[in-house]
């Protein structure tokens, strides 16, 4: 009976470990929160960003995403042109990112140089000056290794004006084979107990 309880406990513990290891780890890629290091390039952009909320009618800030802009935009308008906000993620094959974003003006998400999601009809046509009033969802599968995440934002107009980006989202990282390893270790443990009983 003693060994029966031991085997039952081992099986239950192994099942719990497998269930826990199968769950994905979620890492925030939201702008302006959790210390994410988005860099920005564009007309006169210094490379760093700052939290910057122009206010209504921009979609509001939240606990998972804040508006950011080139650091010189702290109360100062930005030149018209294309701004690129970049983040790198070290991933395993099959890892994903998902969430939603908004920008002033139209924006698009590129993953490793391939366009993944764009804001309404405005991206590439320069005809959506209200892109900052709504969210655009995104989902993308990452490659194994270092992935480059880029949000390109087109600041429209003929003179300096407000611009920015807000992202709410996560990178969902699977267990990378840990489940199979734990299952194999559990089977070895059951085999050892079985040998001890015989």
**Is residue 123 domain-shared with residue 193, that is, in the same domain?**
no
Checking if the pLDDT of 116 tops 80, the result is yes
**Nearest-5° Cα angle at 124, 87 to 38:** 15
Which residue did the predictor score with more confidence, 179 or 51?
51
**Is residue 166 domain-shared with residue 179, that is, in the same domain?**
no
**Is residue 44 domain-shared with residue 89, that is, in the same domain?**
yes
Q: Rounded to whole angstroms, how far apart are CA atoms 58 and 78?
A: 16
**Is residue 104 domain-shared with residue 33, that is, in the same domain?**
yes
Q: What is the pLDDT of residue 130?
A: 73
**Is residue 42 domain-shared with residue 112, that is, in the same domain?**
yes
Domain holding 181, by residue range, is 1-23+175-198
**Is residue 59 domain-shared with residue 82, that is, in the same domain?**
yes
The backbone region for 176, taken as left when phi is positive above 0, alpha when psi lies in -120 to 50, beta otherwise, is left
**Is residue 68 domain-shared with residue 45, that is, in the same domain?**
yes
Helix runs in the chain, H state only: 2-22, 178-197
**Is residue 6 domain-shared with residue 54, that is, in the same domain?**
no
Q: Rounded to whole angstroms, how far apart are CA atoms 41 and 37?
A: 13
Q: Rounded to whole angstroms, how far apart are CA atoms 51 and 71?
A: 8
Cis peptide before 57 (omega within 30 of 0): yes
CATH code of residue 29: 2.60.120
Q: What is the pLDDT of residue 41?
A: 95
Task: With cut-offs at 50, 70 and 90, classify the pLDDT of residue 126.
Answer: low
Checking if the pLDDT of 56 tops 60, the result is yes
Q: Domains in the chain: how many in total?
A: 2
DSSP 8-state assignment for residue 131? G
**Is residue 116 domain-shared with residue 186, that is, in the same domain?**
no
Q: What is the pLDDT of residue 3?
A: 44
Q: Which residue has the tokens 């497998």?
A: 18
Beta bridge partners of 153: 83, 107
**Is residue 80 domain-shared with residue 126, that is, in the same domain?**
yes
**Is residue 57 domain-shared with residue 80, that is, in the same domain?**
yes
**Is residue 95 domain-shared with residue 61, that is, in the same domain?**
yes
Q: What digits encode the pLDDT tens for the residues 137-166?
A: 999 999 999 999 999 999 988 899 999 999
């Amino acid at each position: 009976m003693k060994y029966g309880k031991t085997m039952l406990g081992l099986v239950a513990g192994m099942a719990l470990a497998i269930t826990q290891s199968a769950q994905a780890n979620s890492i925030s890629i939201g702008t302006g929160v959790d210390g994410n290091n988005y860099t920005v390039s564009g007309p006169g952009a210094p490379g760093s960003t700052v939290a910057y909320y122009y206010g209504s009618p921009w979609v509001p800030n939240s606990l998972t995403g804040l508006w950011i802009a080139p650091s010189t935009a702290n109360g100062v308008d930005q030149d018209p042109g294309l701004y690129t906000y970049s983040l790198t993620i070290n991933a395993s094959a099959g890892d994903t990112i998902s969430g939603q974003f908004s920008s002033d003006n139209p924006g698009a998400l590129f993953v490793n140089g391939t366009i993944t999601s764009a804001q309404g009809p405005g991206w590439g046509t320069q005809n959506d000056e209200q892109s900052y009033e709504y969210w655009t969802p995104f989902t993308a599968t990452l490659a194994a290794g270092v992935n480059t995440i880029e949000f390109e934002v087109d600041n429209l107009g003929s003179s300096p004006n407000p611009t920015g980006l807000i992202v709410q989202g996560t990178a969902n990282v699977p267990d990378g084979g840990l489940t199979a390893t734990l299952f194999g270790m559990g089977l070895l443990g059951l085999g050892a107990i079985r040998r001890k009983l015989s």
